[in-house]
Structure 1
Amino acid sequence: MSAGIALLAVAASLPPICADRPAKATGTCTVPAGRLQVEAGVADWSLTRIQKTRTELITLGSTVVKLGLSNHSDLQVGFTPYTKLKLSVAASRTRASGFGDLTVRYKHRLTTGDTGTQVGVIPFLKLPTAARAIGNGKLEGGVSVPVSIPASRTLSVTFGPEVDVLADADGHGRHFAVVNLVNVAGPLAPRLTLAGELWTNVNLDPSGTMKQASVDAALAYAVSDSVQTDTGANIGLTRDTPDVELYGGLSLRF
Structure 2
Amino acid sequence: MRFPSLLVLTALLCALPTIVSAQTTTDSLTAVKSRYSLFRPVPRELMRPLSADRPGVTESPFTVDAGHFQFETDLARHISSKPSAAPRQRTIRANAFVLKMGLSNRTDVQLFVDAYEWDRTFATADQPATRSQGFGDVTLRVKHNLLGNDSTEGPLAVGLIGFVRLPTGGQQGAGGTEYGLLLPATYALNDSWNLSAQLPVLLNFDRDESQHYLQTAPSVNLDHSFAPWLTGFVEAVAQHDFRTRRWEEAVNVGPIFFVGKNIQLDFGRHFALTRNADREYFVGLVIRR
Output the TM-score relative to the length of structure 2. Answer: 0.79
2:58 partner SS: coil
Structure 2 counterparts to residues 151-230 of structure 1, below 5 A: 151-168=189-206, 170-205=208-243, 208-230=244-266
In the alignment, is the contact (CA less than 8 A) between 1:52 and 1:90 conserved in 2? no
In the alignment, is the contact (CA less than 8 A) between 1:72 and 1:108 conserved in 2? yes
Shift of 1:14: 2.0
Whole-Å Cα distance in 2 between the matches of residues 43 and 81 of structure 1?
A: 9
Tell me the amino acid that sits aligned with residue 128 of structure 1. P
In the alignment, is the contact (CA less than 8 A) between 1:22 and 1:219 conserved in 2? no
Using the TM superposition, name which of 188-197 and 60-69 deviates more.
188-197
Tell me the amino acid that sits aligned with residue 78 of structure 1. F
1:29-82 Cα shifts (integer Å, max 9, x gaps): 110101111001111101112466211011101101000111111101111241
Structure 2: which 5+ runs fail to align? 1-41
2:225 partner SS: strand
Which residue does 1:250 correspond to in 2? 285
1:32 partner SS: coil
Say yes or no: does 1:125 pair with 2:159: no
Whole-Å Cα distance in 2 between the matches of residues 46 and 20 of structure 1?
A: 20
Which residue does 2:174 correspond to in 1? 136
Shift of 1:247: 0.6
Whole-Å Cα distance in 2 between the matches of residues 142 and 253 of structure 1?
A: 25
4+ residue runs over 3 A deviation: 168-173
Tell me the amino acid that sits aligned with residue 283 of structure 2. G
Whole-Å Cα distance in 1 between the matches of residues 157 and 250 of structure 2?
A: 25
Tell me the amino acid that sits aligned with residue 62 of structure 1. A
Say yes or no: does 1:62 pair with 2:100: no
Percentage identity across paired residues of the two chains: 29
1:101-158 Cα shifts (integer Å, max 9, x gaps): 11111100001441321111001111111131x2231001110000111223321111
Output the TM-score relative to the length of structure 1. Answer: 0.90
Shift of 1:237: 1.2
Check 1:215–1:81 CA distance in 2 against 1; reply closer, same or farther (3 A cut): closer
Tell me the amino acid that sits aligned with residue 125 of structure 1. V
In the alignment, is the contact (CA less than 8 A) between 1:82 and 1:97 conserved in 2? yes
In the alignment, is the contact (CA less than 8 A) between 2:182 and 2:198 conserved in 1? yes
CA RMSD between the two structures = 1.9
Structure 1: which 5+ runs fail to align? 1-8
Say yes or no: does 1:99 pair with 2:132: no
Which residue does 2:49 correspond to in 1? 16
Shift of 1:240: 1.8
Which residue does 1:3 correspond to in 2? none
